[in-house]
A = this chain, B = another copy of it.
Amino acid sequence: LYSEKVLDHFSNPRNVGELSDANGVGEVGNAVCGDIMKMYLKIENGMIQDVKFKTFGCGAAIATSSMATELIKGKSLEDALKLSNQAVITALDGLPPAKIHCSVLAEQAVRAALADYYRRQ
């Protein structure tokens, strides 16, 4: 059902937690299942210096957020804004169709956190 990479990122999620010095914070909810995702960004010189996430969502939400944080860490804001849930799913070697809706949480939370950062400038 789930790829090795999904199981790895679910059992061993990267970048879980909060960032006390975040300067961009996004929180989004999922209309399908009611889950919430919170994303913290520490941005300096136009780069994502650090990123952490918190969720009470399912294994697919955890795995996609874990992968998404890895994909944007150390990247420019432009690259982070281009992150798509399809790119995250591909990096995880796929997700079952019923769980695609979970992957949008990560993409939307990153965008919400970036929007929050721009708003604060």
Q: Which residues of A contact B (CB under 8 A)?
A: 1-2, 10, 29, 32-36, 55-61, 96-99, 101-102
Q: For A35, what are the chain B residues with a Cβ–Cβ distance below 8 Å?
A: 33, 58
Smallest CB separation, A13 vs chain B (Å): 13
Cα–Cα, bound, A101→B32 (Å)? 11
* Chain B residues near A97 (CB-CB < 8 A): 34
Copies of this chain present = 2
Q: Shortest Cβ distance from A11 into chain B, in angstroms? A: 10
- Docked Cα-Cα span, A78 to B45, in Å, equals 64
Do residues B58 and A57 form an inter-chain contact, with CB atoms below 8 A? yes
24 A-B pairs with C-beta separation under 8 A: A1-B36, A1-B56, A2-B56, A10-B56, A29-B98, A32-B32, A32-B33, A33-B33, A33-B35, A33-B58, A33-B98, A33-B101, A33-B102, A34-B96, A34-B98, A34-B99, A34-B101, A35-B58, A55-B59, A56-B60, A57-B58, A57-B59, A58-B58, A58-B61
